[in-house]
Structure 1
Amino acid sequence: MNGPGSTGTAPAAAAPATDPGAALHLRVEDVTYAVAGRPLVDGVTLEARPGESVGIVGPNGSGKTTLLRCVQGVLRPVSGRVLHDGADTARLSVKERARRVAAVPQDSGGGFGLTVRQVVAMGRSPHKRFWEGDTARDAAYVHEALADTGGAALADRPFDELSGGEKQRVLLARALVQRPALLALDEPTNHLDVRHQLDLLTLVRALPATSLLVLHDLNLAAYFCDRLYVLAEGRLVADGTPEEVLTEELLAEVYGVRAEVRVHPATGAPTVVYLPPAAPPTVRRAVPPTAAEGFTTGATEGAR
C-alpha cells in the first residue's frame, strides 16, 4: 500500500462523518463487453478486496470507462460476471445495485435547475420508497457530505453555475450520501486543481468503502492505490502493486513514452519521470501556393 498508512506519508484525513456502508469484495471474472461485435473490454479479470483502493490505468480508448460501467451494472457484459460479495450483479435489482455502488462519472451532466443541496440529496434515493420525502437524517447526511468534500458554501447555489472542479466535488458528495460499499470513480481528479486532487483522493482513502478508480495521472495512482490494473486495447496487460506494475518497459510498451521510474524520497512510492522523445516529432507546415501556381491576393484580384 503506497497511500496513507504505508511507506509514504499522505495528507491526513479524518474518517468522513457520512459513515458509508461496509466495504464489499469485488470480483470481475473474464468480462467481455462488445459493440457491433467489436470488443471494448476483452476477457478482463480483476479483484478489489474489502477496503482496498484499486486503480485502473491505461491509454485513452483502452476500455477503462467501459469496464467501470460494467462494474456499476450500467452495462451488461456479453460474457463473464461481476460479483459483489459473491452476488452476480446481473441478478440484482437496479435499486439494490445503487445501494451497494455509488459512481462519480467523468461528465457531470446537467443539474436541471436544481441546487447543489438537491443534487446531493438525490444520493439518498436508493434507500427510499418512491413517495418518501427527505428526513432529518437525510439532511444531516447531505450537510456532512458537503462539509467532507469542501462544498458546504455551495449548498444553495444552482448546480449548473458551478465550475467543473466544483461540480466534481458535489458529485463525490452525492456518492457519499448513498453510503456505498463500493465507490466507482471515473477520472475523479478531472477539472480539479492540485490541492483539490489531493484532498479528494485523501478523502477516498479515508473511507471504509472499497474504491475502484480510473486515473490518468500515474503518480497519483501509484501513491493512492493499493493495486493497479493496466488496460490496453480492451485487454488486461499487467496487474499488481504500483511497484510491480509501473516499470519503464511497460510505460514504453503501453503508452509509447520514455520514462524513468524512481522511488519518491518522501513517500516511498514509485514516481514516473517522463523524458523527451528520442527523436523530436516532425512538424509539417502547409506552404501557401505561389502566384506562379495560381495564387492571387485580394489586392491583385481587385486590380484586375
Structure 2
Amino acid sequence: MTTLRTEGLSYGTGEGRHLVDAVDLTAADGETVGLVGPNGSGKTTLLRCVYGTLRPTHGRVLLDGDDLAALPVKARAQRIATVPQDGHAGFELTVGQVVAMGRAPHKRFWEADTAADTALVTGALARVGIAALEPRTFASLSGGERQRALVARALVQQPSLVVLDEPTNHLDIRYQLEILSLVRELGTTNLLALHDLNLAAYYCDRLYVLKDGRVVASGTPEEVLTAELLGDVYGVAAEVSTHPKTGAPTVVYLPEGPTHATLSI
C-alpha cells in the first residue's frame, strides 16, 4: 500500500512569490494522478518538492504517513523514482550504465552489479523498446530515446511511487501511448505532469488542475475537463465530448476568429 499526500504544500522565492501555493493533493495506492495546467502553473515545481530536489517553504509531503523531509536521501530514493522532463545529454556513460544507476539506492557504494541487477536492466530496456541501444552512449541518443532510457532506469529502481515530469516529451505518438500504458501497468502509485489533456484524460484516474501555483480543480477527468474550465485556465475555446470507443473525455480546441482564413501574397 503506497499513498502520497501533500498538506498545504508551498514553495516560494526570495521575492515573496509562491510558485506552489498551499496545495493539498492525494494519490491513493495504485492510482495514476495527473497534474495539468498552462506553462508556469507550478507543475514541475510541485513535482520537485515531492521527489525532494526542492524543499517546501511550507507544508509537507507524506508517503504512507512518513514525512519525506525526515527521511535520509537513500531511503527516499528506495521508494520514489523520478523521470525528469529532459534527460541531460552530457552523460558519457552507456545506456546500460545509466539504466543500472536505478539500482544504486539498493546497494552499498562499493557493491558491484549482480546477475540479478543485470537481468533487471536487460528486462527494463526491452520493456521500453530500446534493448538494442544498451551499448550506445547516453549522449548519442535522441531526445525520445533518452526519455525511454530514463523510464527504464525508474523501472529497475523498483519504487513504490513514480514521479514523472512530461514523460512523453520528445516521443512520437506510438511511444507516447506505450510509455503511458507501461506506467499504468507498473502497479505503482504514479504522479505525473502532462501537457496533452487527451492523454491525461485517457491514462489518469484523477487530475489536479494548477493555475498560478494553486489547485483550481480536481477530480476524475470527466469531472475536471470541461469547456468552461479550459476557457478559464487556458484561455482557449474548446469542445469536450465523450469518445465513443474509449469512454474518456476528448478535447477539441477551437481557433478564434473566422474558420477560413484568406492568405494574400
The TM-score, its normalising length taken from structure 1, stands at: 0.83
Larger Rg: 1
In the TM superposition, structure 1's runs of 4+ consecutive aligned residues that sit over 4 Å from their partners are: none
Range moving further from structure 2, 107-116 or 203-212: 107-116
1:98 to 62, 74, 77: 77
> What does residue 175 of structure 1 align with?
154
- Are the equivalent residues in 2 in contact too, given 1:58–1:231 (CA < 8 A)? yes
- Are the equivalent residues in 2 in contact too, given 1:111–1:158 (CA < 8 A)? no
What are the ranges of 5 or more consecutive residues in structure 2 without an aligned counterpart? 260-265
Letter in 2 for 1:258: A
Alignment of 1:109-258 (within 5 A): 109-258=88-237
Q: Does 1:31 align with 2:9?
A: yes
Letter in 1 for 2:9: V
State the shift of 1:112 in Å.
2.6
> What does residue 290 of structure 1 align with?
none
Letter in 1 for 2:60: R
Question: Matched residues in 2 for 1:262 and 1:126: separation?
Answer: 44
Aligned residues: 258
> What does residue 86 of structure 2 align with?
107
Question: Matched residues in 2 for 1:33 and 1:138: separation?
Answer: 37
> What does residue 3 of structure 1 align with?
none
Over 3 Å counting, the alpha-carbon distance change for 1:145 and 1:109 in structure 2 is same
Q: What is the root-mean-square deviation in Å for CA atoms of aligned residues?
A: 1.0
- Are the equivalent residues in 1 in contact too, given 2:86–2:169 (CA < 8 A)? no
Question: Matched residues in 2 for 1:256 and 1:278: separation?
Answer: 14
State the shift of 1:110 in Å.
3.2
Identity value in percent = 67
What SS does the corresponding residue of 2:252 show, helix, strand or coil? Answer: strand
Question: Matched residues in 2 for 1:182 and 1:163: separation?
Answer: 27
Question: Matched residues in 2 for 1:79 and 1:159: separation?
Answer: 37
Question: Matched residues in 2 for 1:91 and 1:74: separation?
Answer: 14
State the shift of 1:74 in Å.
1.4
What are the ranges of 5 or more consecutive residues in structure 1 without an aligned counterpart? 1-22, 281-304
State the shift of 1:111 in Å.
4.5
Kindly indicate whether structure 1 or structure 2 has the higher relative contact order, using CA contacts under 8 Å at least 6 residues apart.
1
Q: Does 1:48 align with 2:9?
A: no
Letter in 1 for 2:53: V
The TM-score, its normalising length taken from structure 2, stands at: 0.96
- Are the equivalent residues in 1 in contact too, given 2:91–2:137 (CA < 8 A)? no
What SS does the corresponding residue of 2:159 show, helix, strand or coil? Answer: coil
> What does residue 4 of structure 1 align with?
none
Question: Matched residues in 2 for 1:27 and 1:183: separation?
Answer: 14
Question: Matched residues in 2 for 1:239 and 1:97: separation?
Answer: 27
> What does residue 65 of structure 1 align with?
44
Letter in 1 for 2:59: G
